[in-house]
Structure 1
Amino acid sequence: MWILLPLIGAIAYGLAELTWAQQLGLGALPMAIVLGMVVGNLFTPTWSTSSEKLINFSKKRLLRIGIILFGSHLTLQQLVQVGWQAAVLDLVVICSVLSLGYWLGVRVLGMSREVTILTSVGSAVCGAAAILATEPVLKAKQQEVCVAVATVVVFGTLALFCYPLIYHLTDLSSASFGIYIGSTVHEVAQAVAAGQAIDADAMNSALITKLMRVMMLAPVVVVIGWLYQRAQIETDGGPSASIPWPWFVFGFIAMVTLNSLVELPAALRQGLQVSAQLALTLAMTALGLQTRFSALRQAGAKPLILSALLFVLLLGGGLLVHQLLY
C-alpha cells in the first residue's frame, strides 16, 4: 500500500495533465477516485493494519492539509477583477443550488441528507474539492462521497459541450460569457476547459469567477455543518452526535489571506499549489480504493436525477441571473 497509493495518485495526476483530459476538464481528483475504485474492485485486497492506517491518514489528515494548501491558488485581489456582479451571481448560484438541491433530494426524491448535501455542494461550489471539504462535517460514508463525485464528473463533463452552443445563442461578449461559465461550471479544471473552447478572454474571466466561488467554500462548509446539526436535533428529537468543527476551513482562509497580503516567491507558491493537488489526489485515491461498486449500485438513480436537475438549474437559472445583472 505504501507504493500502491502514491503510484495510483501519481498516475491520476499525470493523466490529468494530458491534452485530452484537459479538453474534457477532467482533473486529478476525479481521475484518482476512478482509478482507485477500479484497482480496489478488481483486486479486492485485504489491507494490513499499516495499510489501513495509511488509507485513513490520507482520507482525513491529507484531505484537510490539501484543503488548507488549496488556498494558495486564490487571492482577495481576484475578487476585484470581475466586479461585484460576479460575486452576487456566484452567491445567488450557490444559495439557490444548495437550497433547491436539499429540497429536491430530501423532500421530493427521498434521498438521505448526506448524499443530498454532498451532491448539491459539489454542483454549487467547486466539484470534488467541495465534496471532500464537506464530508468531515457530515461524517459521510465513503460510498456517499464517491456517488456525489461521480455526478459532478458526469454533468460537469456534459456541460463542456453545452457552453459553446449556448454562447452562439446569446449576444454576450466572450469575457462576459466567461463569467457565466465560471459561476455555473462544476470544477476549476472544467472552467478552464470551457473557457478555452470560446477564447482567451472567456477563459480568464471564467477562471477568476470560478475561483471566487471557491473562496466561498469556507463559509459554505461552516453553515452546512451548523444547519446539519440543527436538522439532526429536529429529526432525532434530542441532542445529536457532535459535528466536528471544520478548523481546516480557517486554515484555508488564512492561506488565502497570506497569499493576498504577502508576495510569495513564485517557486514557493507553485510548490504549495502542487502540494495541495497531490494531497487531495491521494485523499481521493484512498477513498476510491475502499469503495465497492456494489455500494454505488445501492445508491440507485436518485443522485443522478438530482444532479441532472441541478445541472439544468445551473445552466438555465445561471444564464437568467447573469442577464439580469449584466
Structure 2
Amino acid sequence: MLLQLPTPLRLRPAIHLLPGLLLAGLLAAAATWSAQWSLPGTLGLSTLTLAILLGMVVGNLAPAAVLAPSAAGIQLAKQQLLRLGIVLYGVRLSLTDVAQVGWAAVALDALVLTSTFLVACLLGMKLLRLPMRDAMLIGAGSAICGAAAVLATAPVTRSRADQVAVAVATVVVFGTLATFLYPWLYGAALHLEWLAQPRLFGIFTGATVHEVAQVVAVGQAVDPAAADAAVVTKMVRVMLLAPFLLTLSWWLGRQHTAVEEGPRRLHIPWFAVGFIAVTGVNTLWPLAEPLRAALVQLDDALLAAAMAALGLGTRIGAVREAGLRPLLLAALLFGWLLLVGLAGLYWLPFGSA
C-alpha cells in the first residue's frame, strides 16, 4: 500500500516557490511597462535590460531577511524559466527569414558571430587575463543577440549571476552607444555606394548591433528599408544561437579543464535543441497570428522574469570587483564588430543577393 502524503505537505514545495516567482514576475512587469517609455526606446534599452537593472536595485537595497523567502523561486526563474524562454524564442523565427536577406547576409552573420567570439576568447583570456566564463559571456553577448545570448550561454558555461550581470552591462553600454553612432555613420557614408544604400546599411546594422531593440532603434532612425533589412538580418543572426550553443557545449565537453573544472561528460543544452525544433515547426506549419502573438508575449514574460531573478541574485560588490577589464574587452569587440561588418559588407556579393 502506497503512503500518500497529506495535501498540505504535497503543496508545500510549490508554495515555497511562490514568493520568488511573484517577485521576479512583478519586476518583469515593471520592466515591460518601463520599456514602453520614450527614453528607453530612444536608447534601445530592451525589457530584458531593464529587468536585470530593476532586479539588481531591489536585490541590493532590500534587507536580506525580506529576500530570503524568495530564494527558491528566484532560483527556479533563473534556470527553468530561462530555458523555457529560450525554447519559445523560436516562435519568432522561421527559415524563410533567410530568403529575405539573401545568403550573403547569412554569411556575414556567421562571419561576425564566429570571429567576434573567437576574438573575445583570445583577447579576454590572453591579453586581459579574464576568466574563461567572463570572456565567453561577453563574447556571446557581443557576437549574437545581447542579453538573450548571455542568458542562453550561461548554463552551458555554468556561469555565476554576477558574471552574467557584468556581461549584460557591457551589452547595455556599447549597444546604447551604437544607437547614436550608427545613424551618424550612415549620414557620414552617403558618398559610399556600397554602404549608403538603406538595405545594405540595414544588413550591416542587423549583423553588428548587439540587441534586437537596439537594431530596431537604429533602423528606424535611418530609413524604413534599412529597418526591415536590419530586423530580418538580426533574426537570422539570432537563429545561429542554437548551433553556437551546441558547438560550444561540444568543445567544452572535450576539454579536460573546461571552464576551470575537471573532466566532464558532454553537456547537451536541450533548450537549444528545443529552440531549433520550435523554429522548424514554425517554418513548416506557421502558427496562427493570435497564437503566435500570445506565445511571443509569454516568452517575453519568461525571459524578463529570468533576467529579474538574475539581477536579484547579483551583488554590486561582485560586479565592482570585476573592474574595467570586462568593459575594455567589450570596447575592443565593439570596434571589431564595426571592422568585420564593414569588411564583410564590402567584399561579400550583396549585389546578387
For the Cα contact (< 8 Å) 1:9–1:32, is it kept in 2? yes
Instruction: Kindly state the Cα deviation for residue 169 of structure 1 after the two structures are TM-superposed.
Output: 2.6
2:121 aligned partner: 102
Equivalent residue for 1:43?
62
Task: Name which of 257, 263, 288 aligns with 1:240.
Answer: 263
Q: TM-score with structure 1 length normalisation?
A: 0.96
CA drift at 1:232: 4.4
Aligned partners of 1:239, 1:27: CA distance in 2, in Å?
37
Q: 1:136, 1:244 within 8 Å by CA — same for their partners in 2?
A: no
Distance in 2, matches of 1:297 and 1:231, equals: 30
Residue of 295, 300, 308 corresponding to 2:323? 300
Structure 2 counterpart of 1:257? 280
Deviates more, 1:41-50 or 1:210-219: 41-50
In 2: Cα distance, 1:298 partner to 1:115 partner: 13
Map of 1:12-91 to 2, 5 A cutoff?
12-46=31-65, 51-91=70-110
Cα deviation, residue 43, structure 1: 1.4
Q: Deviations 1:229-249 (Å, cap 9, x if unpaired)? A: 33443797x952445320011
What does 1:209-224 correspond to in 2, within 5 Å? Answer: 209-224=233-248
Percent of residue pairs bearing the same amino acid type: 44
Q: Check the 8 A contact 1:137/1:243 in 2, yes or no.
A: no
**Structure 2 unmatched ranges of 5 or more:** 1-18
Quick one: structure 1 residues 241 and 44, their matched pair in 2 at CA, closer, same or farther if it must change by over 3 Å? farther
Distance 1:150 1:234, change over 3 A: closer
Q: What CA deviation, in whole Å up to 9, does each residue of 1:145-184 have, x standing for no partner?
A: 0000000010000011111121123232111100000000
1:282-318 Cα distance to aligned partner (Å, 9 max, x none): 0000010111100001111110000000000111221
| Partners of 2:252 and 2:65 in 1: CA distance | 34
Q: Is the 8 A contact 1:9 1:281 kept in 2?
A: yes
3-state DSSP of counterpart to 2:64: coil
Report what 1:151 is aligned to: 170
Aligned residues: 325
The answer to whether structure 1 residue 320 and structure 2 residue 339 are counterparts is: no
For 2:48 and 2:284, the matched residues in 1 are separated by 29
Matched ranges for 1:159-198 at <5 A: 159-170=178-189, 171=192, 172-198=196-222
1:119 corresponds to which of 138, 147, 150: 138
Letter in 2 for 1:173: Q
Task: Return the alpha-carbon distance in structure 1 between the equivalents of residues 262 and 330 of structure 2.
Answer: 31
* Distance in 1 (alpha carbons) for counterparts of 2:211 and 2:238: 10
| Match in the other structure for 1:9 | 28
Separation (CA, whole Å) in 2 of partners of 1:156 and 1:47? 34
When normalised by structure 2's length, the TM-score is 0.89
Amino acid corresponding to residue 183 of structure 1 in structure 2: A
Please report how far the alpha carbon of residue 228 of structure 1 lies from its aligned counterpart in structure 2 after TM superposition: 2.4
In the alignment, the residues of structure 2 paired with residue 239 and residue 297 of structure 1 have an alpha-carbon distance, to the nearest angstrom, of 28
1:123, distance to aligned residue in structure 2 (A): 0.2
RMSD of Structure 2 on Structure 1 (CA): 1.6
1:199 aligned partner, one-letter code: D
Match of 1:291 in 2: 314
